[in-house]
Structure 1
Amino acid sequence: MADSERPELPAVLARMWGREPTPRRGPRPSLDLDRITRAAIEIADADGLPAVSMNTVASKLGVAPMSLYRYVGSKDELLLALLDAASGEPPPLDGASRREYLARWTKANTDVFVARPWLLSIARSGPPLGPRGLLWLEHLLGALDDTPLDDNEKILIGTTLNGYALTQASLITALEQSPTTTNPSSAAAYGELVAELVDEQTYPRLARLSRDRVFAGGDGPWVDEADFWSGLDLLLDGVEALIARRRGEDTRR
């Protein structure tokens, strides 16, 4: 892309990447983006994302709201910085096998969102642009270095595994926070409701599952460790099959 076509780097992104010019003269600023995002994280952890605003962050820092606009130009910019600051660090590339690392990466990604459910709505707003978010992607791409996959396929794997992490974290959070009669707290309770609703003619398969009490073994939370890893194994099996195809290996069973 020519320089004339390159999108202008938003000021908040420049600050997130440490590219803000340092003034040579004048008093040292009393604020910085790190202090602002740490205050916003504390508010979101305590009271949820709706409680985060320029006013509440400024109040927590003991400054006037207008003081924040030197560092973040809007609430959207604040949320962009907040997402990256709260994302943590990806698991290190420490010699684990490809499959082991992809599994560890996806689980760690899920854990970030389960620990801070308020991140979920921000994370769905677009691809990562901050230094931490892109480091997660960089590490995943590193785990795929020794494969014959092309770059687009590697990015797609990252997008798919991140989507799985978001979906699992959303499901865990929703069901843990609001179990009700219409949103049962376990697979077993769900099975009981299905048994009451379906008939053999229209829903023969679901009727059989309910009759055989397939759901009855799920007395714990909706998405437990076994469920998580089983679903992830399906995705990772697909990744390995794609790699084998690119290598010209016969994947038929």
Structure 2
Amino acid sequence: MTQERSLPPVVERMWGRKPVTRRGPRPRLDLATITAAAIEIADAEGLTGVSMAGVASRVGVAATALYRYVGSKEDLLTAMADGAAPPPPEPEGKSWRDYLALWTRAHRDILLEHAWLLSVGRLVPPLGPRRLLWLDRALVALDGTGLDDGEKINVASALTGYALTDAALVHGVGGGDPQMEQAGITGAADYGEMLAEVLDPETYPALSAAMRSGAMRGAEGWVDDDDFMFGLNLLLDGVEALIRRRALDGHVGGK
């Protein structure tokens, strides 16, 4: 007999599973309204500007009223991470590779639009309906490739990790990170020049030589779209090689 799991209240609300009481006046709020207000604040001020009191003020209620919907700021951040995700692109009519390239770029663009997401639950698997829809569409795109379900999830996880890493680098090196700005780094070229100054050629022979040769100049490193596609194509080439290997193995989904 399968034991029924007890989901965190905020997750139940995200999935619309929280029972609705019919007694008393109709509630003025819902989780979607609270989440949208918190996202607006985070987009404008960063996560430091998000507080239960600040969100309550924006939606016009006392802070205590929010606790009927989110039990803590951590719960609010969980809802925000899901609420910031728009609907994913649909895979119909696209090859698995074209779709996953589009999917990964769109994933990265969300992180660039909402930079505060880089600090929210970076290693927490998706729990809400919006983010899980993105995972579902990636798996749909890989139907018929010969990969088993575990491999498909690993492919989606690797691409998600790449989108996250690239967005973090673009945000940091391309401007927006306080420590980088304090160091006077406003682009990849500045970053390369700083590294060239601090790296000891004896301890870091290869990296020091690369920085001194100007490897970070010209294309602006990670910030340039060509560099994003270079890394993405490396990953997709690996997925393509895995699919070919599964076909040569003569069985579907074997490892």
User: Fold-level match, TM-score > 0.5?
Assistant: yes
TM-score, normalising length: structure 2: 0.87
Q: Select which of 137, 144, 147 maps to 2:145.
A: 147
Distance in 2 (CA, whole Å) between partners of 1:199 and 1:95 is 52
Distance in 1 (CA, whole Å) between partners of 2:204 and 2:163 is 31
| Contact 1:185 1:221 (8 Å CA) reproduced | no
2:2 counterpart of 1:3: yes
Residues 76-115 of structure 1, C-alpha deviation per residue, up to 9 Å, x if partnerless? 1111111111111111122111101001000000000001
Q: Secondary structure at the match of 2:109?
A: helix
AA aligned opposite 1:164? Y
CA drift of 1:23 comes to: 2.4
Residue in structure 2 matched with residue 28 of structure 1 by the alignment: 26
Q: Could you list the runs of 5+ residues in structure 1 that have no partner in the other structure?
A: none
RMSD: 2.3
Q: Secondary structure at the match of 1:70?
A: coil
2:124 counterpart of 1:126: yes
Bigger drift between 186-195 and 67-76 goes to 186-195
| Contact 2:222 2:228 (8 Å CA) reproduced | no
Distance in 2 (CA, whole Å) between partners of 1:110 and 1:246 is 29
Q: Secondary structure at the match of 1:248?
A: helix
Instruction: Rate the CA distance shift 1:227–1:29 in 2: closer, same or farther, 3 A.
Output: same
CA drift of 1:181 comes to: 8.1
Q: 5 Å matches for 1:89-128?
A: 89-128=87-126
Bigger drift between 193-202 and 222-231 goes to 193-202
| Contact 1:107 1:165 (8 Å CA) reproduced | yes
Q: Secondary structure at the match of 1:168?
A: helix
TM-score, normalising length: structure 1: 0.87
Instruction: Rate the CA distance shift 1:39–1:241 in 2: closer, same or farther, 3 A.
Output: same
Aligned length: 246
CA drift of 1:22 comes to: 2.7
Residue in structure 2 matched with residue 237 of structure 1 by the alignment: 237
Instruction: Rate the CA distance shift 1:145–1:183 in 2: closer, same or farther, 3 A.
Output: farther
Bigger drift between 51-60 and 191-200 goes to 191-200
Q: Could you list the runs of 5+ residues in structure 2 that have no partner in the other structure?
A: 250-255
Distance in 2 (CA, whole Å) between partners of 1:100 and 1:63 is 46
